[in-house]
A and B are shown apart, each in its own frame.
Chain A
Amino acid sequence: MRTLLAKTAVRRLLITLGVMAVIELMTGPPGNNAQPLYGFTHSFDEPASFFGLFPAERWAIFFVFGLVFWGITSFWITQGPTVKKRVQDALAVPRAKTQKRPVRIGVLAGLLVVAIILPHVETAPFWQAAMVEQIEVYVLLAIGLNVVVGFAGLLDLGYVAFYAIGAYTTAWVTGALPTPPIFDHALNPFFAIPVAIALVMVAGIVLGAPTLRLRGDYLAIVTLGFGEIITIFANNLYGITGGSLGTKQIPHPSIHLGPIKYVWGITPVPYYYLTLSFVVLFIIVFSLLERSRIGRAWTAIREDEVAAESVGINPLKYKVMAFAIGAASAGFAGVVTASQLFYIFPSSFTLQFSINVLVLVILGGMGSIAGVVLGAILIQTLTAFLLHSPPAGYQPSDLYIYLGALLVTMMIFRPAGLIPSRRRKREITLSEDLHEGHLDEVLTGDDT
């Protein structure tokens, strides 16, 4: 028995199963006064399924899950380095190819075509709506927050504020708020797009100019406060925002330009295309920015602010710029949400929301546009899937257990995200290897 326990693989198995048992109990049914132990006993015999796929008793699912997890980790620990090397060698050829411009443009064009025909392939109303509300809106938010967090390295925990300002601006311009719209004339939500984007950028400057002098944690706290202030304003300024009851009905956007007449109706597909065009636009603009002197100035400030200043970069100016530009896509996302959902409520704009978007950015890969887009699509598809066909016993708040587990796993195995940005990855390996003291090894191997 003792010799068996001494084997690390066996110990790891027992620990894994133990952790699984704890998770199983934690996610089990709650107890009650009459049967205080109900939660404990029924954690084991309650029927469940793994995302609706394998109906079985809860304990069996968790047991199998633990075994699989143990198998994967054991394999990874013993065989990981060789597998990693083989995968890297295999990827080296296509990676060299994707560096070439025509190939890259071809791949991107292919992805765009897929995005264009997607709503004709997946015609279920739930998924069509989810593509707009759950995925595209979050992609917009993620690429915007990526400018702030990934490019400029500023931790913004109040990003939801810009989204809220965008949504409320739409309501204001279209006359859905108790406050009269501009010139007392209710407009089509289309006109809300430039107004909302302009307003959130101004909000970015107004918030950024005084607060971006702060660094690190202090900035995070101030932005957190800003997010809360906007929600509380929306909730309490009854005469202006409609308070907690939300807004009046927001009309759909429409075009009346000579012979062209089009009304965005109840169906989500037209919204899908409208939003898609803006997603593409924002992606192009943001990636051009990243590759420009402005993107390099952001990186310089992120890496060493004092040195950046010594070559003539005004840190405050560039940080405020990042805030305002990053806010723009959130403002547009607000317009889409407001005009598609008819009504908006202050309760949709919480801290939780800011953190969700931040998780997408971190999982996807801070500083990498491709990464955060992929992160947003994957996570939000998973979220929508859980909403669409929840496994037995699934509570909406359980989502955070899965996301949390995913985040922890990612931080261990891929700290720079799904598709890491090259610079960020280098920064992470640099700081890790400075600690471990084999800097040269890493540096000579990397791209030259």
Chain B
Amino acid sequence: MSDLIFDVDHVTLRFGGVISLNDVSLHQDRGEILAVIGPNGAGKTSLFNSLTGVYQPQEGTITFVGRNGKPMSIIGKKAFRMANAGVARTFQASRMFSAMTTFENVKIGAESHRGIGVVGAMLRGPATRRDEKRSDTRTNELLRFVGLNERANAISASLSYGDRRRLEIARGLATDPQVLLLDEPAAGTNPSEKLELVKLIRRVRDEMGVTILLIEHDMKLVMALAERIYVLNFGSVIAEGSPEEVRANPVVIEAYLGSSTEEVEHK
């Protein structure tokens, strides 16, 4: 508990009259694989976007503890600042640079946070070339790590859904993150790809020491992977605990399967 990476404290996010996150509090330890689940429209992606600086919640605080161990407040920070601070992410519908090759996609991640400026790029001196070489090496390492090294020169739009996920994970890892946020990584993948994905995500945490936060619909994947789970429904946290606890929690079952009383209440 002492080594926190995310601390979300009483966060409320509204879009006009619609409350997307309602007084959400949660926390994540460094090195933990944490999952956030919940039915459609529960506010999972809103939470993600709040953590990565895309949305700015109106109330509450979000603290992120970065590389140097100093806590920083996320609210009000732009998305690219969060990426540079060590929060990497993938997207629900994969967003790659489709006309670029797999290699280029990852390389952009590897070099975006390094400091060769315009003048360096214009002159292309030895420092720039060394920097390029370092990015290339890193890119190749990561492509091997996720198992895409053979597709390095393929145009990324030609990759299968499973490979796209890997590409996004590699691109996120290239930014040298502290935590990797995965938005429904299993969407659109087949069972064997799913299995591979579970292995890969574990390896990201075990071998690279990157903390994992994921949103997922696929219960099998969540149960296999997550060490702790938060359940969101209608923008509020309704349960928290280990996979076993959550699975047995009647509130969660109700939220997922629905009951006549629930439906009436919310109408």
Contact = CB atoms under 8 A, between A and B. Distances in A.
Q: Do A and B bind each other?
A: yes
Interface of A: 285, 288-289, 292-297, 299-300, 303-304, 306-315, 321, 325, 423, 426-427, 430, 439-440, 443-444, 446-448
B158 interface: yes
B95 A306 contact: yes
A303 B96 CA distance: 8
B113 interface: yes
B91 A299 contact: no
Nearest to B89: A310
Interface stretch (B77-85, B195-203, B243-251): B77-85
A439 B99 CA distance: 12
B95 A313 contact: no
Nearest to A321: B118
Contact of A299 (B79, B100, B154, B175): B100
A357 to B, nearest CB: 23
A299 B97 contact: yes
Interface residues of B, number: 44
B96 A307 contact: yes
25 contacts: A293-B132, A295-B121, A296-B107, A296-B108, A300-B100, A300-B108, A304-B97, A306-B54, A309-B83, A310-B80, A310-B83, A310-B88, A311-B88, A311-B175, A312-B80, A312-B112, A313-B80, A313-B108, A325-B118, A427-B99, A430-B99, A443-B158, A447-B153, A448-B153, A448-B154
A296 B131 CA distance: 14
Contacts of B122: 285, 288-289, 292
A297 B108 contact: yes
Contact of B100 (A294, A423, A444): A423
B38 interface: no
A296 B78 contact: no
A310 B79 contact: yes
A311 B107 contact: no
Contact of B135 (A293, A313, A439): A293
Contacts of B120: 292
A309 B158 contact: no
A309 B109 CA distance: 10
A288 B122 CA distance: 6
Interface of B: 52, 54, 78-80, 83-84, 88-89, 91, 95-100, 104, 107-109, 111-114, 116, 118, 120-124, 128, 131-132, 135, 153-155, 157-158, 171-172, 174-175
Given A288-B122, A426-B155, 15 more contacts: A288-B121, A289-B118, A292-B122, A293-B132, A304-B97, A308-B97, A309-B80, A311-B88, A311-B171, A312-B109, A312-B113, A313-B80, A314-B80, A321-B118, A448-B153
B131 to A, nearest CB: 8
List of 5 A-B pairs having minimum Cβ-Cβ separation, nearest first: A292-B121, A312-B83, A443-B158, A307-B95, A426-B99
Contacts of B135: 293
Given A288-B124, A299-B100, A309 B78 contact: yes
A129 to B, nearest CB: 32
A346 to B, nearest CB: 32
A196 B84 CA distance: 35
Contact of B157 (A294, A321, A443): A443
Contacts, number: 116
B79 A309 contact: yes
B118 A430 contact: no
Contacts of A299: 97, 100
B121 A303 contact: no
A430 B78 CA distance: 30
Contacts of B97: 299-300, 303-304, 307-308
A437 to B, nearest CB: 13
Contacts of A439: 157-158
A296 B158 contact: no
Given A312-B80, A443-B155, A303 B52 contact: no
A214 to B, nearest CB: 17
Contacts of A430: 98-99, 155, 157
A175 B95 CA distance: 54
Given A309-B83, A314-B80, A292 B128 contact: yes
A440 B108 contact: no
B153 to A, nearest CB: 5
Contacts of A294: 118, 121
B59 to A, nearest CB: 24
B172 A311 contact: yes
Contacts of A312: 80, 83-84, 109, 112-113, 175
Given A309-B78, A315-B80, A289 B121 contact: yes
B263 to A, nearest CB: 35
B83 A311 contact: yes
Nearest to B106: A311
Nearest to B79: A309
B75 to A, nearest CB: 17
Given A289-B122, A296-B111, A297-B112, A311 B99 contact: no
